[in-house]
Amino acid sequence: MGRMLLRRVGVFAVTIVVASVIVFGVMAVLPGDPAVVALGVNADPELLQQTREQFGTDRPLVEQYMSWAGGLLQGDFGTSYVTDAPIGPVVVDRLLVTLWLVGLGLVVAVALAVPLGVASAVWHRKARGTALAAVSQAGMAVPAFVLAILLVSIFAVRLQWVESSGWVPPAEDPVQFLKQIALPVLSLGLVQAALLSRYVRSATLDVLREDYLRTARAKGLTPGRALVRHGLRNASIPVVTVLGLQVVALLVDAIIIEVIFVVPGLGSLLLESVSNRDLLTVQGVVMVIVGVVLVVNLLVDLLYVAIDPRLRRS
């Protein structure tokens, strides 16, 4: 177990280094001069050169990368080329907002997908099971931004039950926080719930065909009780894999959802930085997203070991 954990952490470290090189390389080859972005195209050439020296963009690329990567290891994302403010505190604040959206969206997806997927598998030869499968199939075809627009038109405009935009931290006003985050979370969670329920249904159907489950039913357990006591743990292994992928999908969808609902998260910061040509902020935001994805993958690997004791023995 200890060696497996060290191996996974080693893979995580190597991957994050490779990702940082790729991100820095992509940003470096993009056209545009940060000094010109900061001072304007009509700035004095001497002042431009001084600004390049201040930003460090006049140094060799390898030296620039080592300086940037060393700062990341210390939690220093550098200073914005546009606002001349530290990037780290802004990224952390925006990341917390995005984590609320993604975390609650994942909770909604799991809370809906697991019972609906299991019920769809148990009733797969009945009309209600077919209806549940059809609903999940239809839900997979609806993009998150389309669902967001529908939810706004129904619950915010017509019924006026919740807010359609804005953000209030939960510690400041919990009630207002729930009103403003409800629609973004539902927009993210419902689409992913439809997709996840299909995998839950498929995994549950595979487990229902196993011999050990037939043996449990032959011993007197009802199909539902046999599934809960002996089948769900095995069915959860492929579902955990999909959950890891869904976190990535939620992060991507959150970029669009944050723009629609005017939520100051990491996605909106990324779009603002791209439009302002603030490449150093873009680098920091992309690296944070990469880090979150890699941490999720590491947690998925550890969950495999916790769920399946055969992996612990191997």
Task: Report the candidate in 288, 286, 273, 284 with the shortest Cα–Cα distance to residue 37.
Answer: 273
Asked whether residue 216 is domain-assigned, the answer is yes
Mean pLDDT of the 69-96 span:
86
Asked whether residue 48 is domain-assigned, the answer is yes
In this structure, what CATH number is given to the domain that contains residue 228? Answer: 1.10.3720.10
Domain termination residue (choose one: 58, 86, 114): 86
113 and 248 both lie in a single domain: yes
133 and 144 both lie in a single domain: yes
Q: What is the pLDDT of residues 235-247, one digit of tens each?
A: 677 777 778 778 8
* Higher per-residue confidence, 289 vs 303: 289
Q: What is the pLDDT of residues 177-207, one digit of tens each?
A: 888 888 999 999 998 888 888 888 888 777 7
Domain termination residue (choose one: 42, 61, 86): 86
101 and 180 both lie in a single domain: yes
* Higher per-residue confidence, 5 vs 265: 265
Asked whether residue 240 is domain-assigned, the answer is yes
119 and 72 both lie in a single domain: no
Tokens linked to 244: 């890891």
Mean pLDDT of the 38-53 span:
75
Mean pLDDT of the 106-126 span:
86
263 and 189 both lie in a single domain: yes
81 and 123 both lie in a single domain: no
168 and 263 both lie in a single domain: yes
119 and 243 both lie in a single domain: yes
Query: Across all residues in the chain, what is the average pLDDT?
Result: 82
| 108 Cβ neighbours under 8 A, 6+ residues apart | 185, 186, 188, 189, 190, 193
Task: Report the candidate in 24, 18, 22 with the shortest Cα–Cα distance to residue 60.
Answer: 24
What pLDDT is stored for residue 108 in this prediction? Answer: 92
Q: What is the pLDDT of residues 266-294, one digit of tens each?
A: 888 888 888 888 888 888 899 998 888 88
Asked whether residue 45 is domain-assigned, the answer is yes
Tokens linked to 280: 């150093």
The parent domain of residue 29 ranges over 2-86
Asked whether residue 70 is domain-assigned, the answer is yes
152 and 256 both lie in a single domain: yes
Domain termination residue (choose one: 70, 86, 102): 86
What pLDDT is stored for residue 272 in this prediction? Answer: 86
Asked whether residue 314 is domain-assigned, the answer is no
Distance CA 132, CA 228 (A): 20
DSSP string, 42-78: TS-HHHHHHHHHHHTTTS-HHHHHHHHHHHHHTT---
What pLDDT is stored for residue 199 in this prediction? Answer: 85
Asked whether residue 56 is domain-assigned, the answer is yes
* Higher per-residue confidence, 143 vs 313: 143
pTM, to two decimals: 0.82
127 and 272 both lie in a single domain: yes
Tokens linked to 158: 């017509």
Please tell me the total count of domains within the chain.
2
9 and 127 both lie in a single domain: no
59 and 105 both lie in a single domain: no
Distance CA 53, CA 304 (A): 49
